[in-house]
Structure 1
Amino acid sequence: MCREIPARWILSLMGLLGVVNLTSLRINLSSSIVDMVSNASNIGYHHEGAGNLSSAHNQHGFSWNANEQGLALGSYFYGYTFSQVFGAWCGRRFGRVRVIGVSAIMASLLTILNPVLLNIHFWLFVAARICIGAFAGTFYPIMHGLWGIWSPPEERGGHLSIQYAGLPLAAAVIYPLCGFIAEKYGWQYTFYCTGALGLVWSGAWLLLIFDNPADNPNVTPEEAKQTSLSIGEEVNTDRTDDVKWSNILKSLPVWGIILSTFFDHMPSYLYLLLPTYLHATYNLNVQQSSMLSSIPYVVKIAAYAFLGLLDWCLSKRYEIGNVRKAVKLTGYSLAALSLIIMTQVTGGVTITLLCFCIQESAATVSVTGIKASAIDIAPGFSGVVFALANSAGSIMGFLTPQYAGALREAYIENPNKAWEVLYLTAAACYILATAIFLLLGSGKVQQWAKREVDDTETTGLID
């Protein structure tokens, strides 16, 4: 049966399920925090005695103020941010599939332990969330390294679209599921369930996926030949080859990916705050806010399917770099506009969700824009390039919740103003990310990423 399905499409499916798994480990707290925190709807209100967070649990929940909620939500990203480059290096050194599998197991086990650690002390919970993020941070850069080996150029947008469709799929499923579990059984069970699912995926990953076509017994000779010919003999895809750090860090296209990723991650992390926003703004309970928060991501799944098909069609006719820039310009302009409209139009929860649906659907172009570009310019080193970019972008993962918390504290008398400033900031980040990528982005394999490099000719500042 496995030989009847091309191995790279099995990798796509497992990549999608891997994204669902890791996203669930990230967002389980976003849903359950409404049930966990006694003052979630009263932003900035802080019960007496909440300074000792390990003993702050009462019949209503933990007494965390807005800044503490931001720390709890953002702690995952401290580990996630700083493990990217190290994870890419480990994948090249010890085997990409092995590192992803072991990391997912560790992240899942720590998730199951979250309630125990939280009941001991808040800071143990924060430390565990940091470690979960660190283990999860290995996944995306290593997957980009695998796609540099497994995917023909014209298929990259499609494979990445399938993989990243796991983000909205997880949000569409996990938000309402965690909300239901928290409402019905208690917030602790959201961590138990998502951690157990992570262990199941880890076992399947280690059994089914291999580092390269030569190691996979289910790869047909036709698929192996197609992959090697389409990637090109001159492109370096050897995972044991030394990383060319000086050339990578001098490359303008690399910096275009890094800087653009930094700015476009700020609005992408707003989904962490969506249940809290709906709860605080429209006074919805945990199950209602979680269910409504899933709607934009159901729509986004369809957007990923359309995006993959569009990228495949355009890549057949036009230069790949121009395709990346065109779709990014169109999508991010629409995403920014939808956020601006949301802050200026009063129409209740319906208009809010409609704007979020447009924003999230339009933002899917980052997959066939920035993320695919890392593979285009350096297939063999795409994991490292993506790790550098995603590390920069993931800084927004802990800055965004804390920035939101600071705004809500600053505008405690006018909470709607805090949310308005937050979403206008996100729109500005979309505009900056687009401008940088249009200026510095490229779709051509860089000279330093090829097998034979003449150091006298390589400046790193290549088209």
Structure 2
Amino acid sequence: MEYIYHFTNIIRKTTQNLFNKATGVFQRNDPNSQLDYTELIEDDDVTQRQRIKTIPATSSKYDSYIPSRFRFIDSIKNMPIRYQTAFLSSLGFLISFGIRCNMGVSVVAMTHNETEKLPNGTIKLIKLAQFDWTPGIIGIVDSSFFWGYLITQVPGGYLAAKFPANHVFGFALGISSILNLFIPFAAKIHYGVVMILRILQGLVEGVTYPAAHGIWRWWAPPLERSTLATISFTGSYAGAVLGIPLSGILTEYFNWQIAFYFYGLVGIIWSIYWWYFSYERPAIHPKITEAERVYIEESIGESSSIANKKIKNIPHDELYLMEDT
């Protein structure tokens, strides 16, 4: 178990470093207060010294947005809502990619005999494989997820534009997590049933990336868009890195079903909290500060009174007349 401890310790430190770096963001002055920030600079005589700057609270221009690279928040509670959304969506992607890794790892324990080599060189059968799936069947079952995933990439963008993108994102992860709970039961029926569930998982998870982009349409100021999107999408890579060894550990110390149950339950819990916490736009979020809301809306060029207007009727006749003239 020592290697597990070291592995989790590395993940914890990496996450903390990412968390600390991500909090050095561009922020707008609170109209009701002054903004102090600390900057570390190098000097000829002193290696490092601390300098405090105070920006007048009356300033409302974009030049009052200052980079506070060394401002670190005290707790998650004080983190700006847009960054809480980024880290929470990153956790969602981590769970999503963990779900994808379940089958690839668990199928080893599902379809292979457990044996032991004796001192005399003979092989002793300890446990017979639960499923007699051929390599071809295993490949089809494992890849069936991506059949559905490929189909809903483009429709996912349409859904994220038509409906609140945060709801689309949470709904997709929630449904995929529920389906994950049924895979162990489906495997006992027939591998074809597992394929159906995996295709359905791919269909619903195919909308996650388009939905995530739709979320940042309302929440990401231009100067922070790349940072917020990077934090969010980093969860997908972390999910693959963590999902494979974690599924293997759960399978080794418990059984192959536990990996499906674990990610299914964690995904459902995440979806419930996401549904409670996330909102489509800053203007309707009940916990956002006035300063953050104004900063996001003005930097994007939107205000709380402007709805997401769509062109319902395109004046084709007028356009043709303009082209003729």
> Shorter-normalised TM-score: what interval?
0.5 to 0.7
Give 2:300's aligned residue. Answer: 231
2:110 corresponds to: 36
Whole-angstrom CA distance in 2 between matches of 1:18 and 1:241: 29
The answer to whether the 8 Å contact 1:92/1:240 transfers is no
Where in structure 2 are the equivalents of 1:48-447 lying within 5 Å? Answer: 59-232=128-301, 239=308, 241=310
Structure 1 residues without counterparts, runs of 5 or longer: 40-57, 245-452, 458-463
Distance 1:116 1:90, change over 3 A: same
Higher strand share goes to which structure? Answer: 2
- The answer to whether the 8 A contact 2:99-2:243 is kept is no
Q: Give the superposition deviation at 1:38.
A: 2.6
Partner AA of 1:140 in structure 2: Y
Which blocks of at least 5 consecutive residues in structure 2 are unaligned? Answer: 1-74, 114-126, 320-325
CA-to-partner distance for each residue in 1:107-165, whole Å, 9 max, x for gaps?
A: 11110000101111111100000111111122211110111111112212211221122
Closer/same/farther in 2, CA of residues 243 and 97 from structure 1, 3 Å limit: farther
Q: C-alpha distance in 1, partners of 2:311/2:259?
A: 42
Q: Distance between the aligned counterparts of 1:149 and 1:455, measured in 2?
A: 33
How far apart in 2 are the matches of 1:180 and 1:15? 25
Deviation for aligned residue 1:69: 2.2
Alignment-mate amino acid for residue 135 of structure 1: V
Give the TM-score taking structure 2 as reference length. 0.63
TM-score scaled by length of structure 1:
0.45
CA-to-aligned-CA distance 1:387-441 (integer Å, 9 cap, x gap)? xxxxxxxxxxxxxxxxxxxxxxxxxxxxxxxxxxxxxxxxxxxxxxxxxxxxxxx
Counterparts of 1:210 and 1:120, CA distance in 2: 40
When residues 152 and 454 of structure 1 are mapped into structure 2, their CA distance, relative to the original with a 3 A threshold, is farther
Size of the alignment, in residue pairs?
A: 231
SS of alignment partner, residue 143 of structure 2: helix
User: What is the Cα deviation at residue 189 of structure 1?
Assistant: 1.3
3-state SS in 1 of match to 2:185 = helix
Residue in structure 2 matched with residue 396 of structure 1 by the alignment: none
User: What's the offset of the Cα at 1:80?
Assistant: 1.4
Shift of 1:456: 9.0
Residues 1:21 and 2:95 are matched in the alignment? yes
When Rg is computed on C-alpha atoms for both structures, the one with the higher figure is 2
Could you tell me whether the CA contact under 8 Å between 1:12 and 1:163 is conserved in 2?
yes
How far is 1:243 from its partner?
A: 9.3
Kindly indicate whether the alpha-carbon contact (under 8 Å) linking 1:92 and 1:239 is maintained by their aligned counterparts in 2: no
Residue 310 of structure 2 aligns to a residue in which SS?
coil
CA distance in 2, matches of 1:231, 1:93: 20
The structure carrying a bigger helix percent of its residues is 1
Q: Matched residue of 1:211: which SS?
A: coil
Same amino acid, percent of matched pairs: 30
Is the 8 Å Cα contact of residues 3 and 219 (structure 1) preserved in structure 2? no
1:250-309: CA deviations, max 9, x gaps? Answer: xxxxxxxxxxxxxxxxxxxxxxxxxxxxxxxxxxxxxxxxxxxxxxxxxxxxxxxxxxxx
Q: Distance in 2 between matches of 1:12 and 1:156?
A: 11
Higher RCO structure, 1 or 2 (CA under 8 Å, sep 6+): 1
